[in-house]
Amino acid sequence: MGNLIYRRVFADPAALRQMLAGRKPDVDDIKRRVFVMERQSDHRRPDHFYKGYLEHRVGKARNFVDLINVTLGGIGDHHLEWTRGRAAVKLQEFEHWQHGLPFFSPLAVAVHWLRRHLPESARSTVAARRRELEASLLYSALLSPVLPGPEELIRRDGLNEMHMHLTGSTELDIVWIDAVQRPEVYRDELEKAFASAHMVKELYDQIDLGLDAAEIHYRLAVARNVRWSITRRLLGRSLAKVQFEGGRTEALTSSRSYHRARHRVEGLRPDNELTDWSSNSETLNACLTTTLIPPPGFSIACHPVEGLYSENELAGVTPLHKEALWLWHCFDALEQLPADDAEDIALGLYFNFLTLTLIARLTVQQVDEFGFDQFQKYTLAGAREPVEAHYAARFRQLGVSNDGDHDHLEGRFSPKETVGKNADLLESIVRGYLDYRGCGRAKLFRAMASIVPACLTGGSCSCSHGRIPRMKLGLVAHFIKKEDKPLDKVRRWSHACRHQELRTDLETRGHAFLGLMQRSPAARHFITGIDAAANELHAPPETFAPLFRMVRRARLPHASYHAGEDFRHLVSGIRAVVEAVEFLDLRNGDRVGHATALGIDPALWLEEIGPRLMLKVEDALDDAVFAYHRLSKSAAHIEAALRLEALIGELQLRIYRRHVPIPLLVEEWRMRKLDARLATMPEVTLITRGEVDDAAKMAQQAPAAFDRLCRATLSRGRRAEITALKEAFVRAPQAFRLFQERHLLETCRRGAEIIEVRISDYDERALHALQMDAISLLNSRNVIIETLPTSNVRISYYDSYKQHHLFRWLGVAQRPSLPDTVVPTVCVGSDDTGIFSTSLRNEYAHIYLTLVDSFGLSADQAMTYLEQLNRNGRVYRFHESMPAANI
């Protein structure tokens, strides 16, 4: 309950609309709306419950100064503490802190808390403030608890980041700073995303009906004006004395910084001098209606703190610390200025935080938004595109400290459709990495250079200065799953197959990717594997099988695949993981990302999902065939197998209009790893469905026909794929024809029909057995699971970390009635650090605290698990690719 009420104060769209209309909101009206919003989040509690918290937490707020202070102060005091010389999250409040991050700026909370809890000597000088900010908030505002064991692990070994997407990694406060300084650039990216994806429009409507990119741009532009107007007020009123560098103690309004900044700020409005903030909102109206025009040599895109300090005083200050220093001055003003002046600044700050919360709704997945569809809206929204054009600052944010938290970071990137675009992307990433390492030659790096810089291959780098961060960088190319287009728009030819366009696009991108690998030594040094990411409900593993074989033939040794992360039916999720392993031939240190379906407690899933759900007929049939094939091998599940046999008989008639033996359905399922584009070509269908009535004669003639088709193609890879088709057809011609029939337009239409299925078709014991069977398959092939706790809590069926399946795999959340007879090998990643407001340090902290607080382990016992997880990361990280001659 640590964030209850507080989390809604800056999330009031009605107040934001009022202020955009030039009207000052009433504080009592804001409190009433906070109560209503909080009540709507959970109707199971009575009004007096919420009103009690409302009165306790913000009831005494009579004005905006009070509202700012009680909200930020309440969040900070509830969650933060001073430990080992820095601000940290209280151990018992860390999970609540995590759940609150989508609602507020952690930077604002931390700065507000620091200025109230630091002694005068630690905050009276500019240098002192910078030191304290660097101690607690060096490159990231995502505070952590102080945990001696995990911190020693980080210091001694460094963490191994096994699954992190470089796009989507920038945290909220850094996105906000960039967006409010450059709203025009931000708008352009939002408009591109808004026009291209229906899901993005859904996200906007979830935030505020009728919202669009132009309106967001307007609100950001107003917020920028408001921030500069606040800065003018800070300059125009005497604050407490601040000691500047060199020991000078001057009133802020008499410093040389002030005189230069005052000239700048007044120059912003040559046509209409800014009026004071006042209760009649004159300044707000001016901000709403007049564009700020910068004077010569000065850009309004600069941070407003530059109006308070000289260039020397801000030398080397990061954007995050510029924002922190500006907020510090604002909070000082609320305390030190006369009441009317303080109230005007508080009103401006309130508008600032309202707009920041709007940006949070575009960048951080909210706690009430479950499922991958909700997550994907944030990946498509374009909210991070401008700030993520460069990588150095991102590596610093992810590293947290100067030494860095990581021993190894495996970053995922999405390959482009041409070699040139891939080279440009690699160049940008590596330049950022070199900059992060302090290499003065970062800008000279070229992806197509004949050599890799010595400092990246273990050699010395004469251009590096100071201590080089230890983090080693590996890159994994993740290809994107995309939804098949509607049948009537894409299936124009009888020989088209499922996901025809995606399969073609993957081939194009695959060739461009391998072209980069062949021509770039840097690519071969950094890029260590491939993956397939995005919504697994949009494309199954079979779609990526030809691509993975293409890359395997080029001797790129490692692969991972996102599977079992989000699923309509638990059996569908388990099947997706098995299909990834079987169809993509994962083995020997390859990995599966998430695999939630293999770990979630079947009882929890059954309870959450209810008695029935909706599935496509073809998905229900595939699930039933898969489960029957696995369960019928054991006499313990004969009853479940009999139920599934009856269900299969019912479902197959809906699709094929005839009875198909179950072994034939199983064999067809196994063939799905074949290249469906080739299998449905007219040349192949002529071979497999020719006019030869004699099956024996056809079996004799088919190999020669396939061989002629092989000789007619120049591509070595295509010849290998055609040979695989030949072998499958010769081995099981009926199943092969069924495989082809599955891709026919009419079969697809019948299979796409939505039906209601009974959850009772699979009992808890059967689901548990399917999980154990799938984990056994992974273990037999030495396939590792990448687990991502915060991501899974946001996307899956979990309300808290203690429900996460990792603890079942670690053996601490076992149920005697259904013991887990096998467990997988697991490593840890952070997934999308910005979208989930997390870091790898904080992922390990969540694991540690859950082991101790929820499962009663000692600190030593918990550290044993953490060290094993991190060691798994070191052992199973992907290593450098093969030489160019093999590609």
pLDDT at residue 20 above 90?
yes
Q: Is the pLDDT of residue 194 over 80?
A: yes
More confident residue, 458 or 339: 339
HSE at residue 680, side-chain half, CA atoms within 13 A, is: 22
Q: What is the pTM of this model?
A: 0.92
pLDDT at 274 over 50: no
Q: Is residue 571 within 8 Å of residue 559, measured between CB atoms?
A: no
When mean pLDDT is compared across 222-236, 367-381, 498-512, 712-726, the lowest value belongs to 222-236
Task: For 90-143, give the secondary structure using H, E and C.
Answer: CHHHHHHHHHHCCCCCHHHHHHHHHHHHCCHHHCCEHHHHHHHHHHHCCCCCCC
User: pLDDT tens across 647-682, in order?
Assistant: 999 999 999 999 999 999 999 999 999 999 999 999
* Domains identified in the chain, total number: 2
pLDDT surpasses 50 at 258: no
pLDDT reported for residue 520: 94
- Confirm if 579 and 542 have CB atoms less than 8 A apart: yes
Is the pLDDT assigned to residue 612 strictly greater than 90? yes
Domain for residue 720, yes or no? no
HSE, CB side, 13 Å, CA atoms: give it for residue 180. 27
CA distance 145 to 136: 11
- Asked if the model's pLDDT at residue 55 lies above 90, the reply is yes
How far apart are alpha carbons 207 and 681 in whole angstroms? 46
- Read off the tokens for 811: 């053996």
Output the pLDDT for position 488.
62
Q: Pick the closest to residue 214 from 238, 196, 230, 192 (CA basis).
A: 192
> What is the pLDDT at residue 259?
37
CA distances from 605 to 248, 301, 374, 577, 796 (A): 65, 49, 19, 17, 10
- Give residue 453's pLDDT: 73
The answer as to whether 506 is a domain residue is no
Q: Report how far residue 642's alpha carbon sits from residue 662's, in angstroms, rounded to the nearest whole number.
A: 12
Dump pLDDT digits (tens) for 124-152.
778 888 899 999 999 999 999 999 999 99
Mean pLDDT of the residues in the chain = 89
Q: Which of 343, 374, 389 is the last residue of a domain?
A: 389
Q: What is the pLDDT of residue 299?
A: 66
430 inside domain: no
330 pLDDT exceeds 70? yes
409 in helix, strand or coil?
A: strand
Residue 211: the pLDDT is 93
The full length of the chain comes to: 887
| CA angle at 216 for the pair 213 and 221, rounded to the nearest 5° | 125
pLDDT confidence band for 251 (50 / 70 / 90)? very low
* pLDDT for 264 beyond 60: no
Q: Is the pLDDT of residue 232 over 90?
A: no
Residue 222 lies in a domain: yes
pLDDT at 1 over 80: no
Q: Which two tokens stand for residue 626?
A: 């898969």
CA 374 to chain centre: 11
| pLDDT digit string, tens, across residues 149-172 | 999 999 999 999 999 999 999 999
Question: Does 128 map to a domain?
Answer: yes
In this prediction, residue 250 carries a pLDDT of 30
Where does a domain end: 358, 389, 420? 389
C-alpha pair distances (Å), 676 with each of 376, 497, 542 = 27, 6, 9
- Give the residue from 357, 372, 389 where a domain finishes: 389
Does residue 887 carry a pLDDT above 80? no
Residue 248 pLDDT greater than 90, yes or no: no
Cα 545 to Cα 272: distance, rounded to the nearest angstrom: 64
Residue 556 domain flag: no
Closest CA to 640 of 567, 566, 571: 571
Query: At residue 519, does pLDDT exceed 90?
Result: yes
**Residue 497 placed within a domain:** no
Task: Give yes or no for residue 742 having a pLDDT over 80.
Answer: yes
Angle between helices 339-363 and 213-236 (to 10 degrees): 150
Answer whether residue 155 is part of any domain.
Answer: no
Domain span at residue 804 reads 780-876
In tens, the pLDDT along 462-517 reads 665 556 788 999 999 999 999 998 766 654 555 589 999 999 999 999 999 999 99
Burial annotation 615-651 (CB, 10 A radius, 16+ → b, else e)? bbbbbbbbbbbbbbbbbbeeeebeebbebbeebbeeb
What is residue 275's predicted lDDT score, i.e. its pLDDT?
33
